[in-house]
Structure 1
Amino acid sequence: MTVTIPYGRQDISDADIQAVVDVLKSDYLTQGPVVPAFEKSIADYCGAQYSIAVNSATSALHIACLALDVGPNDIVWTTPITFVASSNCALYCGARIDFVDIDSRTYNMSVQCLEEKLVRAERTGNLPKVVIPVHLCGQPCDMAGIHALGQKYGFKIIEDASHAIGGKYRGEPIGNCRYSDITILSFHPVKIITAGEGGMALTNDVKVAKRMNLLRSHGITSDAEDMTPQAPEEIWNYQQIGLGFNYRMTDIHAALGLSQMQRLDKFVNKRHIIAKRYEEQLSGLPVITPWQHMDSYSGFHLYVVRLKLEEIDKSQKEIFNVLRAAGILVNLHYIPVYRQPYYANFGFKAGLCPEAEQYYLEAISLPMYPALTEGQQDQVVAVLREAIVA
């Protein structure tokens, strides 16, 4: 039987298991003390003032858009090379979505393309209300450049850092919101740390934080200062003061996330060791390994190589299939969002973002996770080499 090597996987320790068991034996499985403790650990690590834990990064993106008053007839821009949640969140709010092409080396949103698109949009009165750059694979976008354009053209910024906790931009932790209004993190099992499932929104704006806190829990508050005065003989221990959602994180999930935070830096360091080893082993093969900007310290959630197809006799799909047949469960991150059948209904067509589409035709995500052994990595490289040169 072939032993499979996934492209990513969680790393669960005995301490992680015990943290969850402790919650299961406690009085609170949800809405207890562990969620606030997890929120504080993330806020302290990232250097943000406020953190709001939710049940997924998708939920965090949704309430982030709502907290910035995204609604019908508003326009939101993001990158096409991302998971669909980065754009779906705008559609949930009734907004229109559009896409900005990627940089040819980082594969993140191109600041040059963003500026060119903004110039055109200003002429036609179609400027975005919010721009959502995505830190693909864990490498941060050029946030200073995007922020400067936000100041000039008046849009808000949501950093989708679902891949990037533990990374740095210009020497500071990703998530501090220095160049954005809100930063989003993900704790899905294949991410850098996991809570089983879950997400978090970080911000330095107290009003935005308060709004997201309401939105994640049905629009309900128990804070007396926010409640409408009622007759003194009536009991009002909570009030719904807005329309929200059941997006809360449980203490069970938070316990796992809080425990994993103890090993975050260790995880990221191991990912860098694996990336360096890939760089050395893939030298000489007709592939482009990840380029890292001098301003960035990537979380290396993913390790994406681009095939130099002009030097290879096989197609991307053929090489992808050879690797998978050998039990190496490579993946593709991502198909341009606007190429998805659902988005075709909005009139998007191939050719919108040429650099993103070229990337899509050449990219393959190799296995990358802290528990990946040198033997497994050697196996990945050997099969890739054979697939390319055979």
Structure 2
Amino acid sequence: MEKQINFKPIRESYLPYGRQWIDDEDINAVVEVLKGDYLTTGPYISKFEQEIAQYVGAKYAVAFSNGTAALHGACYAAGIEEGDEVITTPMTFAASANCVLYQGGVPVFADINEKTYNIDPNEIERKITNKTKAIIPVDFTGQPVHLERIMEIAQKHNLVVIEDAAHALAASYKGRKIGSISDMTMFSFHPVKHITSGEGGIITTNNKEFYEKLLQFRSHGITREKDQLMEYHGPWYYEMQFLGYNYRMTDIQAALGISQLKKLDKFVQLRRKYVQIYNGAFEEMDEINTPHQHHDGESSWHLYIIRLNLDKLTGSRKEIFEALQQQNIGVNVHYIPVHFQPYYRQLGYKKGICPIAEKLYEEIITLPLFPAMSEEDVYDVIQAVKRTINYYKK
């Protein structure tokens, strides 16, 4: 029997789990574009690409309309075709696997590491077959995956590594910024991420061939580059050489992204500060586990996830989740394992293939974490969590 409970809200207004932080400088940057000559494809896109590439230490960057489109482009550039297998984690948003399906490939789910919640390199190796073409590791919550080991596996088996770093802009691995290590790395600029361009995504790479394929893919498969043309009719001439998509970012979005990028380090500093406050408040509580930092990587903390020790609690995860929402704390759950989704079930994926990820899903709650929170907001969350856990304590 569920305990009927009615918690009074700890705060008057609802605190979401994440939201953007837009200031006048950002607004002015967008207005400037609106007053100018180009709204869609103009000079701001390449400026944004250059600045992101420079920030992460990559040679090239190609901006897309969103992170999913960017992943689709990366799968195309990697040569994923009908029947090719690509190994990824189930503990992610559906896009990390869907991008493989778009190319006619087959997503293969490998289980996660019990401590970091990231894909387990040993599980990746176990899942490799002669059909495997690529690996899409996900830097879950902003915590870098074990890149050294994953790159070794990829080199040994001649696989392409497309790192889904939607959560990990400004994170680093062994002193190197995420975005400079994998064959291709995707960042997302959705409003809950580290910086936003409204919607938007980007691929960084050091590989010129991937770079050129990505540019053409996002623009209908069309090129105007003279050295790439089959024929040449004159300065107006262009060629569609393969079936691409219209996945371009707009100058409006890029201008917002450029303005936001100036504040990235400040934003991440605040995220890290709030995480320390959370960790300090929760470390003595046996009923919950706080996130575990991998010693080789420095997380940029997109999400803060607590794991419930349900055997020490009288309430279910659902009850605890609802009790926190009643107190105006906008908790969430990241993620429902991708292979649990009805569409994937129809494709023949079954529950039970990734037991560690599946158990984790039953026990986690995402707490609010974003730079526009105040310290007072952080302490409201802590108070609500403690109050709820104490109520449901065995």
1:142 partnered with 2:146:
yes
Between the aligned partners of 1:350 and 1:238, the Cα distance in structure 2 is 49
Shift, 1:283, TM fit:
2.4
Paired residue secondary structure (1:348): coil
Shift, 1:13, TM fit:
1.2
Between the aligned partners of 2:64 and 2:348, the Cα distance in structure 1 is 33
Q: Give matches, 1:177-216, under 5 Å.
A: 178=181, 180-216=182-218
1:116 partnered with 2:118:
no
Deviation by residue 1:26-78 (Cα, 9 ceiling, x = unmatched): 11111111000000000000111110000000000001001111010111110
With the length of structure 1 as denominator, give the TM-score of the two structures.
Answer: 0.95
Paired residue secondary structure (1:146): helix
Shift, 1:230, TM fit:
4.1
Letter in 1 for 2:153: L
Q: Which residue of 2 aligns with 1:278?
A: 278
Q: Is this contact kept in 2: 1:313–1:388, CA < 8 A?
A: no
Q: Which residue of 1 aligns with 2:240?
A: 240
Paired residue secondary structure (2:87): strand
Percent of paired sites with the same residue: 46
Between the aligned partners of 2:228 and 2:124, the Cα distance in structure 1 is 40
Between the aligned partners of 2:64 and 2:17, the Cα distance in structure 1 is 26
Letter in 2 for 1:52: V
Q: Which residue of 2 aligns with 1:132?
A: 136
Bigger mean CA offset, 150-159 vs 100-109: 150-159
Deviation by residue 1:316-364 (Cα, 9 ceiling, x = unmatched): 1110111112211111100110011110012111111010011101111
Change (3 A) 1:319 1:26: same
Between the aligned partners of 2:227 and 2:107, the Cα distance in structure 1 is 37
Between the aligned partners of 1:387 and 1:128, the Cα distance in structure 2 is 46
With the length of structure 2 as denominator, give the TM-score of the two structures.
Answer: 0.94
Paired residue secondary structure (1:76): strand
Between the aligned partners of 2:235 and 2:351, the Cα distance in structure 1 is 59
Q: Which residue of 2 aligns with 1:99?
A: 109
Q: Is this contact kept in 1: 2:283–2:289, CA < 8 A?
A: no
1:170 partnered with 2:171:
no
Between the aligned partners of 2:224 and 2:349, the Cα distance in structure 1 is 45
Bigger mean CA offset, 11-20 vs 374-383: 374-383
Paired residue secondary structure (1:193): coil
Paired residue secondary structure (2:132): coil
Deviation by residue 1:56-102 (Cα, 9 ceiling, x = unmatched): 00000001001111010111110000000000000001111110000
Q: Which residue of 2 aligns with 1:13?
A: 23
Letter in 2 for 1:162: A
Letter in 2 for 1:91: L
Letter in 2 for 1:92: Y
Shift, 1:221, TM fit:
1.3
Q: Which residue of 1 aligns with 2:35?
A: 25
Segments of 4+ moved more than 6 angstroms:
none
Letter in 2 for 1:116: R
Shift, 1:379, TM fit:
1.2
Q: Is this contact kept in 1: 2:134–2:161, CA < 8 A?
A: yes
Letter in 1 for 2:126: E
Between the aligned partners of 2:13 and 2:222, the Cα distance in structure 1 is 49
1:335 partnered with 2:336:
yes
Pairwise CA RMSD = 1.2
Structure 1: segments with no counterpart, 5+ residues: none
Structure 2: segments with no counterpart, 5+ residues: 1-10
Letter in 1 for 2:221: G
Between the aligned partners of 1:311 and 1:227, the Cα distance in structure 2 is 67
Between the aligned partners of 1:374 and 1:47, the Cα distance in structure 2 is 32
Bigger mean CA offset, 369-378 vs 58-67: 369-378
Between the aligned partners of 2:237 and 2:35, the Cα distance in structure 1 is 27
Q: Which residue of 1 aligns with 2:57?
A: 47
Between the aligned partners of 1:26 and 1:183, the Cα distance in structure 2 is 32
Letter in 2 for 1:161: A
Paired residue secondary structure (1:6): coil
Report how many aligned residue pairs link the two structures.
380
1:305 partnered with 2:306:
yes
Paired residue secondary structure (2:71): helix
Between the aligned partners of 1:144 and 1:230, the Cα distance in structure 2 is 45
Shift, 1:242, TM fit:
1.8
Between the aligned partners of 1:354 and 1:229, the Cα distance in structure 2 is 55
Q: Is this contact kept in 1: 2:80–2:133, CA < 8 A?
A: yes
Shift, 1:235, TM fit:
6.3
1:159 partnered with 2:160:
no
Between the aligned partners of 2:351 and 2:227, the Cα distance in structure 1 is 52
Between the aligned partners of 1:22 and 1:369, the Cα distance in structure 2 is 27
Between the aligned partners of 2:44 and 2:143, the Cα distance in structure 1 is 30
Deviation by residue 1:174-224 (Cα, 9 ceiling, x = unmatched): 100x2x211000000000000011000111111111001000001111211
